[in-house]
Amino acid sequence: MKINWFPGHMKKALREMKSMMSNVDIVLYVLDARAPLSSVNPSLNNLARDKKILFVINKLDLADENRVKVLTQKFKMQNSDCVCLTSTMSGASKIVKNKILLLSKDKIEKFKAKGIKTTIRVIVVGVPNSGKSTLINNLCGKAKTLTGNKPGVTKGMQWLNIGDNIEICDTPGTLYPNLSDQNVAKKLAFIGSIKDQIIDCVELSSELIEILLQKYPLLFEERYKGAKSLDEIAKIRGYVLSGGEMDIDRTANAVLDDFRKGRIGRITLD
């Protein structure tokens, strides 16, 4: 199964982001805690290379916290910082704002010395379905952006004032033109960053089962009562078509949904 998805609005978004970068102080890079390394988009890295970056490893409530803590060190560099959180949790917005202000300290103090209260401009980027819009809604204190638990909800760009002289811009979730590393592509598909409609969900679910049995066998076997294949899970769940045939399509979608909603357990694939 070859996975590749780069619709026209993503190409347009990357072009618009490139033109905006000269007016941006900080890039707020939202990553999915279930696959934080795979959530890094090389195209976005190129755009952000001269900027200070705040990596927000989001959806921590769905992830293996011990594994995420290890991976966090990879995102702490000279001009960057990293926080791990769940964007809907109480206090998440304060954590992010404080990090933005800390990264902007030099600029704020420079203008303060001149008697000027400067505005910090932040652009929010990330792969589809990483939780960017939900995080921004939390920062704003109310729903100002459109959200949805599927890729491709945010299509345009908009600047919003979140207080403390910080302006923030939401952007569409973007992948990159050529998903050459298919292991990365599969992880993005597992977490819902790629539209299910373009993927063979039975094959995808089967591959997810294989990975989970290797990485988190106890969690998987507890969830599915020892079953280790789609056919066995279908029997346990009673997903049967007329004539007694197992409903494998329904089972595959159920396993993907269980993983994405954390029903199997807290899992990080990277």
269 lies in some domain = no
Same domain for 208 and 155, yes or no, is no
188 lies in some domain = no
Q: What pLDDT shows up at residue 83?
A: 94
Q: Does residue 111 register a pLDDT over 80?
A: yes
pTM of the model: 0.86
Q: Among 124-128, 132-136, 143-147, 243-247, name the one with the lowest average pLDDT.
A: 143-147
* Residue predicted with more confidence, 35 or 5: 35
Q: What pLDDT shows up at residue 141?
A: 78
Same domain for 166 and 204, yes or no, is no
Same domain for 72 and 154, yes or no, is yes
* Residue predicted with more confidence, 53 or 143: 53
181 lies in some domain = no
Annotate 1-23 with DSSP letters as a single string. -------HHHHHHHHHHHHHGGG
For the chain, the average pLDDT equals 85
Same domain for 112 and 213, yes or no, is no
Q: What pLDDT shows up at residue 90?
A: 83
Same domain for 204 and 148, yes or no, is no
241 lies in some domain = yes
pLDDT digits (tens, 9 = 90+) for 173-214: 776 656 677 888 899 999 998 888 888 999 999 999 999 999
CATH number at residue 48: 3.40.50.300
Please state, in angstroms and rounded to a whole number, the distance separating the CA atoms of residues 189 and 251.
17
Q: What pLDDT shows up at residue 104?
A: 92
Q: What pLDDT shows up at residue 217?
A: 97
Range of the domain at 212: 200-260
Q: Does residue 6 register a pLDDT over 60?
A: no
Q: What is the mean pLDDT of residues 223-252?
A: 94
Same domain for 213 and 113, yes or no, is no
Sheet of 52-58: strand order equals 80-84, 52-58, 26-32, 120-126, 166-170, 158-161
Same domain for 134 and 35, yes or no, is yes
